Structure 1
Amino acid sequence: MIEILDTTLRDGTQGEAVSLSSDDKIAIAKRLAAFGIPLIEGGWPGSNPKDAEFFARMKGVDLGETQLCAFGSTRRKGLRPEEDPSVAAMVEAGTPVVTVVAKSWDFHVLHALEVSLEENLRMIEETYRYLVGEGKRVIHDAEHFFDGYKANRAYAMETLRAAVRGGADTLCLCDTNGGSLPEEVYEITKAVREAFPGVTIGIHPHNDAELAVANALAAVRAGATHVQGTINGYGERCGNLNLTSAIPNLMLKYGLELKGLSRAKLAQLREVSHFVDERANLTPNLRAPYVGDAAFAHKGGIHVSAVLKDPRTYEHVPPEVVGNTRRVLVSDLAGRSNLLAKLAEAGVEVPKETAGALLSEVKQLEHAGYAFEGAEASFYLLAHRLRGGAMPFSVEGFTVFVHVADADPETPTWAEATVRVRVGGTLQHTAAESQYGPVSALDKAFRKAIEPFYPEIAEIELSDYKVRILSGQEAGTASGVRVMIEMRRGGERWSTVGASKNNLEASLKALTDGYAYALVKNQPVFKG
């Protein structure tokens, strides 16, 4: 049975660009507990007011079978444990479990901690004896253990003996610099496992050499049954062990039982990953194994053709096992199978001869700068048109005029746009202005033209807008551009694309596709 300790709320917050409020930390702790993580390290209550506030607020929160851990360090030199503020903060946090970091590497003891090797051993043993006496389960985080073992094996092992004499029930070996190799981790963990037969052995790897997952698996093969990491691999420098990769590897590849987790709960993995990203205000990693959008995305025509026959041809696990879904991408690398599969996702049936024409059109448009991978609404409309589906409107022209502010700084720059839109047999010629620029003015003028015919577009909002230059530095301001737009209505989101040498024309193409998709997507125009 493997025990997972999640340190997203402590070690994870030490990562660059990762910042969590107390409310965020409480929400994440509740979500991780609901997922089934048995141990959640909430922070270092003695280091900052935010973590102290978190533990105070968590005293009334029911996490079910999950236990909350407070983090801290051994007593300082010259102080008894009961006199040390950091040790006292761990006790006052009121958690049943504490994780305590202690030095394992003689180099760190002498040059960073600046105490004698003997004093470091006393600091470990006395701190743990005190905490156990206060009713705590003590997890010993052996900082820099692998580097320490390689530098001075005898002393590194002696620090573990001091931890056990003090009452620690778990010895977690930390690859703090993240530079150890899997074979080293395996051999050293095996040696520790054999030296401490009645003690739980753990692993806490960092990812500086892109080996954290491999090192964790090596440690488990060597006998470790306690694994520490973070959701999405957050952490200092290159991050910690990524639990969203480690957990499915342990369960699906090794067939191991994880305390508190089950195959049914594993299906929540992607949602948990994105929940944590959302609370941290970070964009999910597109290529994250198991949980990323691209993890089960297929682009090459040969791949898609095979996957449609049997997903095992190009998928190592079924995506639904980890809460993900299979995606078929449409691009200039696509084959007919891609297009048919993509349309099938939307419940669309298209004859093979029509698919051939659609494929040719897609490749021509991508050569001109379009990209349909992230703009599935534009792809749907393209298929809709080729299949003979009616469009709700057509744009016949537009103009944009920008009024530049004069010398008075209080006078804002604003834009005015006019559009000519045909809706059925009616030609609409409207104008609008905006202080937010020409794209906003175009959007307002277009809405003004079609809203009398389609009042439902008032519910649609623009949620993202991106411009990419396509032609390279040589073309300068004559470069072609690609505009990607995301729109939303309620909980539904869709993306469109426009490409042109003219940024405003590309923007208007993407905008109008976004509105057209919302109006035609439910029309039953696709029949086999």
Structure 2
Amino acid sequence: MSDKSVKIYDVTLRDGTQGESISFSIHDKLRIAQKLDELGVHYIEGGWPGSNERDEGFFEEAKRLKLRKAKIAAFGSTRRAKVTCEEDSSIQALLQAETPAVTIVGKSWDFHVTEVLKISLDTNLEVIHDSVTYLKKHVDEVFFDAEHFFDGFKNNPEYTIETIKAAHDAGADVIVLCDTNGGTMPWEIESIVKEVNIQLDNPSLGIHTHNDGELGVANTLYAVRGGVGQIQGTINGYGERCGNANLCSIIPNLKLKLDVDCLEDKELTKLYDVSHFVHELTNLPPIKHDAFVGESAFAHKGGIHVNAVMKNSKTYEHVSPDVVGNRRRILISDLSGR
């Protein structure tokens, strides 16, 4: 996969704040956006304009941010079924945010269309097409989040494909396939992504996974194997219920294990710092055993391990800690040997 590259789309400031006990002020969100830009992510989803005063305040302040690389994106939903895009407050709030990219979420599972939206399947297709078409006239990049895509595909693949085809035909720059309930298996993800590429003749695809089955990272990596080009996730895996896919694990696995271009080498060395910076602003303790960025990720305690690592770190470390900005720690205890 050495010729492959993907774009990193961070949703910490929107999806991450839906996690229990997490709340960022406008100032916090601006500081995190700056850190994410230093890390080298390509897109920063700032929130849902029009849904609350804090997100509206962020987008107003974000217009003055001097970002090196990242683009700010606003998040919203497709228009309501009984109003036009010009009349829809959510659609208009996206335009007022004045971001270079917007992401809108729409229903791709027929079950949600009939049971939640209470509209016909054909009306939902019209809503998706109209929303993307309208936004493409006003915004440089429009991404379509196909909510519950994998559950929908497993239940009614024909209709689920119709929903993303509606967005694709309307000009969506990326179709983001969402494992919203977090219950899909990795091999299902890869297989379905490949099928979508066949059905839509290799469109630009993204992946958005949740961690309810402890598979958010694995599902994202399998989606890359299947052919997606945009990765959505949060720093430290923050998010609703069991969290979103953890970018602090996804990014180094992509770059160091799959040889997928996503960040520059020097940017990757800032991963530990960004992880702990965000932890601090959440007022939640860092998870010591987190892969790559946890304090214990490169901590050695057993005497045999310590002896070997001091001779050659490759004996008990799968990567060097410095490539992600972490450090090796040798722990002294009664297990250290004589």
- Scaled to the shorter chain, the TM-score interval is over 0.9
Larger RCO of the pair (alpha carbons < 8 Å, separation 6+): 2
Q: How does 1:440-455 map to 2 (within 5 A)?
A: none
Deviations 1:136-167 (Å, cap 9, x if unpaired)?
Answer: 31111000000000000000000011101221
Q: 2:298 corresponds to which residue?
A: 296
- Secondary structure of 1:82's aligned partner: coil
Between the aligned partners of 1:159 and 1:303, the Cα distance in structure 2 is: 53
- Secondary structure of 2:64's aligned partner: coil
Q: For residue 57 of structure 2, what is the amino acid of its counterpart?
A: E
Q: 1:418 corresponds to which residue?
A: none
Q: 1:416 corresponds to which residue?
A: none
Q: How does 1:406-485 map to 2 (within 5 A)?
A: none
Between the aligned partners of 1:267 and 1:38, the Cα distance in structure 2 is: 17
Counterpart contact for 1:24–1:280, Cα < 8 Å: no
Q: 2:17 corresponds to which residue?
A: 13
Between the aligned partners of 2:227 and 2:241, the Cα distance in structure 1 is: 28
Q: 1:284 corresponds to which residue?
A: 286
Q: 1:229 corresponds to which residue?
A: 233
Deviations 1:107-160 (Å, cap 9, x if unpaired)?
Answer: 000001111101110000001100001133111100000000000000000001
Between the aligned partners of 1:224 and 1:243, the Cα distance in structure 2 is: 16
Between the aligned partners of 2:302 and 2:219, the Cα distance in structure 1 is: 33
- Secondary structure of 1:330's aligned partner: coil
1:198 CA drift (Å): 4.8
Q: 1:117 corresponds to which residue?
A: 121
Q: For residue 81 of structure 1, what is the amino acid of its counterpart?
A: C
Q: 1:321 corresponds to which residue?
A: 323
1:100 CA drift (Å): 0.5
Counterpart contact for 2:102–2:139, Cα < 8 Å: no
Between the aligned partners of 2:140 and 2:266, the Cα distance in structure 1 is: 32
Q: 1:129 corresponds to which residue?
A: 133
Q: Percent identity?
A: 54
User: Residue 61 in 1 paired to residue 65 in 2?
Assistant: yes
Q: 1:389 corresponds to which residue?
A: none
Q: 1:274 corresponds to which residue?
A: 276
- Secondary structure of 1:40's aligned partner: strand
Q: For residue 55 of structure 1, what is the amino acid of its counterpart?
A: F
Counterpart contact for 1:193–1:224, Cα < 8 Å: no
Which residue of 245, 249, 265 corresponds with 1:245?
249
Q: For residue 171 of structure 1, what is the amino acid of its counterpart?
A: I
Q: Which runs of 5+ in 2 are unaligned?
A: none
Q: For residue 281 of structure 2, what is the amino acid of its counterpart?
A: R
Deviations 1:164-206 (Å, cap 9, x if unpaired)?
Answer: 1221010110000000000100100111122223521111010
1:65 CA drift (Å): 2.3
1:299 CA drift (Å): 0.8
Q: 1:183 corresponds to which residue?
A: 187
User: Residue 36 in 1 paired to residue 40 in 2?
Assistant: yes
Moved more, 55-64 or 202-211: 55-64
Q: 1:80 corresponds to which residue?
A: 84
Counterpart contact for 2:108–2:147, Cα < 8 Å: yes
1:64 CA drift (Å): 2.3
* TM, length-normalised to structure 2: 0.97
Q: For residue 144 of structure 2, what is the amino acid of its counterpart?
A: H
Asked which structure has the greater CA Rg, the reply is 1
1:279 CA drift (Å): 1.4
1:287 CA drift (Å): 0.4
Aligned length: 334
Between the aligned partners of 1:137 and 1:196, the Cα distance in structure 2 is: 19
- Secondary structure of 1:81's aligned partner: coil
* TM, length-normalised to structure 1: 0.63
Between the aligned partners of 1:153 and 1:6, the Cα distance in structure 2 is: 28
Counterpart contact for 1:182–1:211, Cα < 8 Å: yes
Q: For residue 37 of structure 2, what is the amino acid of its counterpart?
A: A
Deviations 1:14-48 (Å, cap 9, x if unpaired)?
Answer: 00111100000000001101111110000001211
Between the aligned partners of 2:303 and 2:223, the Cα distance in structure 1 is: 40
Moved more, 194-203 or 240-249: 194-203
Counterpart contact for 2:211–2:243, Cα < 8 Å: yes
Between the aligned partners of 1:236 and 1:103, the Cα distance in structure 2 is: 19
User: Residue 147 in 1 paired to residue 151 in 2?
Assistant: yes
Q: How does 1:340-359 map to 2 (within 5 A)?
A: none
Q: For residue 279 of structure 2, what is the amino acid of its counterpart?
A: D
Q: For residue 62 of structure 1, what is the amino acid of its counterpart?
A: K
Deviations 1:248-282 (Å, cap 9, x if unpaired)?
Answer: 00000001111xx2111111110010011111111
Q: For residue 234 of structure 1, what is the amino acid of its counterpart?
A: Y
Q: 1:97 corresponds to which residue?
A: 101
Q: 1:333 corresponds to which residue?
A: 335
Between the aligned partners of 2:304 and 2:181, the Cα distance in structure 1 is: 42
Between the aligned partners of 1:96 and 1:167, the Cα distance in structure 2 is: 16
Between the aligned partners of 1:328 and 1:42, the Cα distance in structure 2 is: 39
Between the aligned partners of 1:198 and 1:289, the Cα distance in structure 2 is: 33
Between the aligned partners of 1:129 and 1:136, the Cα distance in structure 2 is: 12
Q: For residue 144 of structure 1, what is the amino acid of its counterpart?
A: H
Could you list the structure 1 runs, at least 4 aligned residues long, displaced by more than 3 angstroms after superposition: none
- Secondary structure of 1:100's aligned partner: strand
Quote the RMSD (CA, aligned, Å): 0.9
Between the aligned partners of 1:287 and 1:123, the Cα distance in structure 2 is: 44
Q: For residue 311 of structure 1, what is the amino acid of its counterpart?
A: S
Higher-strand-fraction structure: 1
Between the aligned partners of 1:164 and 1:11, the Cα distance in structure 2 is: 24
- Secondary structure of 2:243's aligned partner: coil
Between the aligned partners of 2:259 and 2:334, the Cα distance in structure 1 is: 40
Counterpart contact for 2:208–2:232, Cα < 8 Å: yes
Between the aligned partners of 1:133 and 1:227, the Cα distance in structure 2 is: 25
